[in-house]
Amino acid sequence: MPPTLYLIDGHALAYRMYFALTAVGGSQRWQTSKGEPTAGIYGFARELLRILENEKPEYMAVAFDVGKTFRDKMFPEYKGTREKMPDDLRPQIKRIREMVDAFNIPRLEMEGFEADDVLGSVARIAAEQGLGVKIITGDRDLLQLVNKRTTVYLAGDNQSYIRDDHQRQILADVANIRDRLAKIAPKAEETDAAYRLHSNLLRMWAEV
């Protein structure tokens, strides 16, 4: 087995851990005695320590978003329908960055690009140089990076996706996608066109 580079999607992992821990009892449960919120910090730290102690990675880096990207310039409504970051999670990202620095783990950040853009580029370069890659995230979009050398672990699902697993998941999604698209495209012809487009894209990903 080649040495493995572990890449953590900082914002996505913080989000996943925050919502998993606050789903029961709310965010008020996760505070210091002075009222500082800690759910995202605690969840991120727990996952980071699990990786360090159980998997003992040879190489590791954490990627973070740094603000608006080139997509926002191209399409101002980009992510316009996505819920904003909870107010009590925002200051925790700063603490998580400080935690990563305290562990002396490299932070990957690039103005104008999202963390998953950076992760995808670094993963490709590392694989081309003969390394294995394991991406830890809470974002299912990163499953498109799965290939012969790259595994994606979805925190919260507690599942690692390898190439064969990802192919089966994609082909299952193709079978179910028409019903989901029907809720978005009210006209039958729009649904059929969207179905063909998404099905072709998903099958292309499955063959990567």
Which one is predicted more confidently, 144 or 205?
A: 144
User: Strand 150-154 and strand 132-137: pairing?
Assistant: parallel
3-state secondary structure of 21: helix
CATH architecture classification, 4-161 = 3-Layer(aba) Sandwich (3.40)
pLDDT tens-digit map of 97-146 = 999 999 999 999 988 888 888 888 999 999 999 999 999 988 888 888 88
d(CA 30, CA 36): 8
Give the domain ranges of the chain.
Answer: 4-161, 166-206
d(CA 179, CA 177): 6
Amino acid at 144: Q
Residue 205: burial class (beta carbons within 10 Å; 0-12, 13-18, 19+)? middle
Q: What are phi and psi of 31, to 5 degrees?
A: -145, 155
pLDDT tens-digit map of 164-177 = 554 445 444 544 54
- Where would I find the beta strands (DSSP E) of the chain? 4-9, 59-63, 107-108, 132-137, 150-154, 159-161
Q: So what's the pLDDT on residue 189?
A: 46
Residues 6+ apart with CB under 8 A from 48: 8, 99, 100, 103
The model's pTM: 0.73
Question: Of the candidates 113, 17, 130, which has an alpha carbon nearest to the alpha carbon of residue 63?
Answer: 113
Residues 6+ apart with CB under 8 A from 43: 13, 14, 16, 17, 18, 20, 21
Place of tokens 């562990």: 103
Residue 84 has pLDDT above 80, yes or no: no
